[in-house]
Amino acid sequence: MNPATAMATVLVDELLRCGMTDAVLAPGSRSAPLALALQAVEEAGRVRLHVRIDERSASFLALGLAKRSGRPVALVCTSGTAAANFHPAVIEAHESGVPLLVVTADRPPELRDTGANQTVDQVKLYGTAVRWSTEVGAPENRPGMVAYWRSLISRAWGLAQAPVAGPVHLNAAFREPLIPDGDESWCEPLDGDATGAWTKVRAATPGSVLHVPPTRRGVLVVGDGAANVKRYVAAASMAGWPVLAEPSGNARYGENALSSHHFLLGMPEFVEQHRPEVVVTLGKPGLSRPLLALLRRAEEHIVLAPELARWPDPVRSATQVAQEIEIPVVSGDDAWLRSWRTADRAASAAVDAVLDAIPAVTEPRLARDLVAAMPGGSLLFTAASMPIRDLDQVMRPRRGIRIMANRGAAGIDGLVSTAIGAALAHSGRSYAVLGDLAFLHDQNGLIIGPRDRRPDLALVVVNNRGGGIFSLLPQAALRDPFERVFGTPHSVDFEAVAAAHGVPYRRLEAAADLSKAIAGDGLRIVEARTDREENAALHAELRHAAHEAVRAVLSG
């Protein structure tokens, strides 16, 4: 099957699974895959298809259908000015709160701005008149496309109705051939499942609380920016579920919170024995690839999203999205939770043993010990790259602290300034841990005028003379270009930088000296020097030790 036919088939099928009853089509060439898919399901009696030769008339027909029924109507056209003729109806749908799902066919990116026939700029064509707009992207015959297409359609269907009904826009690029080629093969099944829409969206209305299926074999995942953490951690604890919390989710506390889920989920034998029946996600997860793999495999993945306009689903596995959920208490033994905790304790002890055996400063131990050393009520701001991942892998559960990171876009920008701003707003002690490149990127944040407040902030800079995270990625295997284009080594004297800004400076000489190094008041810099290659080797050793310890538990 050619990619254009495959994508159109799946898009139309998912619209039907979401509940589409009516579709309006204005004919054209580039939209042929969608037209043929709609015609096929019309012949099967699955949809009412309305065809109009004038796009303006077609769009207002769809508007009337959706306005009266209260249900989204799909509106399809070809590329070029055909899409522009939808604009008046889209504006009316926006102002009237009418749910329209506008699908404009487009030329692939390589034909744009070349003078190719019927090619105009259709990206975000309708501006602010749509609730949501996205470029679908030219389809490719590779695994993962079906999940992408289906989750995209169910997201669009949901956003056309909630939180406020209105139009959404999908711009779908198709490469030729545009009609079926007689080959029905594809690299993965095109079908959905028997449960309806890929992702079901539930808006918060009276009585609309989503009740999670009762089970002891559940898992609560808490990512960055999670809301109502205490409520749902308490519910998971009552249900006997393990809590897998990223540091900036601020849910790594209590008896159900794990420290080493990154290592546990990296073991196929552990994963095979610990397949959850339901996973509930709060916030935005994304630090650990093994954790994302757990979400990808989940049979039931429920995402709690206070704002339905944007819900986090990085692996496109969400089966339900809700603004409010209830996790039921289920009676029974605690074998499920006990098994997770036993493996977690074994992995954590093995990791601690490796870290404690090294007297020199290492990045994972620094992360672990810094969290343990902070007094209650403290704030820790961490860089969004390697420091927060170290915390995720080695941080032990504790209460009474707040961890923050710029994980929205996970960039390197402005971290010194963000840390200072957070410290100025915080009522207790404040600490920050940044890599050297993140620090250098925003060293101007240290410039504070004589009449401005200065924060009580210990700024810990991990100096491995370059981009440490790249040493843990596949790029590290490219020995010749690695240092030049990834490692980006430097020879900056951080003590001199501190002196230039009038900021007190200390050098952390040994791992055991951390508490003494971070002590003090006001803005201060603590430099911790490490080696990138040694750090990569240490992470491999930690993974090996944790896996061996868990294997001993599983075999025992």
Stated as kind and residue range, the H or E segment containing 458 is strand 457-463
pLDDT of residue 133: 97
- Spell out a b/e string for 470-492, using b for 16 or more CB atoms within 10 Å of the CB, else e: bbeeeebeeeeebeeebbeeeee
How many of the other CB atoms lie within 10 Å of CB of 208? 11
pLDDT at 517 over 60: yes
Question: Cα separations (Å) of 360 from 348, 357, 465, 513?
Answer: 20, 9, 17, 10
pLDDT at 471 over 60: yes
Per DSSP, the three-state class of 25 is strand
- The confidence band for 482, taking pLDDT boundaries of 50, 70 and 90, is confident
**CA triplet 324, 327, 330: central angle to 5 degrees?**
165
Tens digit of each residue's pLDDT (9 = 90 or more) over 265-299: 999 999 999 999 999 999 999 999 999 999 999 99
Half-sphere exposure of 88 (CA within 13 A, CB side): 10
Radius of gyration of the chain (CA): 27
Domain 358-542 CATH assignment equals 3.30.70.20 = no
pLDDT at 556 over 80: no
Look up the CATH architecture of domain 210-335.
Answer: 3-Layer(aba) Sandwich (3.40)
pLDDT at 514 over 80: yes
- The confidence band for 263, taking pLDDT boundaries of 50, 70 and 90, is very high
pTM: 0.91
**Residue 89 in contact with residue 56, Cβ under 8 Å?**
yes
Reference 529, options 482, 493, 476; nearest CA is 493
Mean pLDDT computed over 547-556: 95
Reference 90, options 122, 121, 47; nearest CA is 122
Cα–Cα dist 423/381, whole Å? 9
- Spell out a b/e string for 97-116, using b for 16 or more CB atoms within 10 Å of the CB, else e: ebbbbbbbbbbbeebbeeee
pLDDT at 244 over 60: yes
Cα–Cα dist 309/328, whole Å? 27
pLDDT of residue 204: 58
Mean pLDDT computed over 317-322: 94
What CATH number has the domain spanning 3-193?
A: 3.40.50.970
Mean pLDDT computed over 44-52: 97
Mean pLDDT computed over 395-402: 96
- The confidence band for 461, taking pLDDT boundaries of 50, 70 and 90, is very high
Tens digit of each residue's pLDDT (9 = 90 or more) over 339-393: 999 999 999 999 999 999 999 999 999 999 999 999 999 999 999 989 999 999 9
**Residue 59 in contact with residue 86, Cβ under 8 Å?**
yes
pLDDT at 161 over 80: yes
**Residue 151 in contact with residue 315, Cβ under 8 Å?**
no
Reference 83, options 129, 23, 26; nearest CA is 26
**Domain edges within the chain:** 3-193, 210-335, 358-542
Spatial CB neighbours of 159, under 8 Å, sequence gap ≥ 6: 131, 132, 168, 201, 308, 309
* % of residues, the chain, pLDDT over 70: 98
Cα–Cα dist 101/286, whole Å? 30
pLDDT of residue 56: 96
- The confidence band for 492, taking pLDDT boundaries of 50, 70 and 90, is very high
How many of the other CB atoms lie within 10 Å of CB of 442? 18
Residue 399 backbone phi and psi in degrees, to 5: -100, 170
Stated as kind and residue range, the H or E segment containing 9 is helix 3-18
Stated as kind and residue range, the H or E segment containing 146 is helix 145-159
Shared fold status for 3-193 and 210-335: yes
β-bridge partners, 224: 284
**Residue 492 in contact with residue 436, Cβ under 8 Å?**
yes
* % of residues, the chain, pLDDT over 90: 85
pLDDT of residue 206: 53
What is the chain's mean pLDDT, rounded? 94
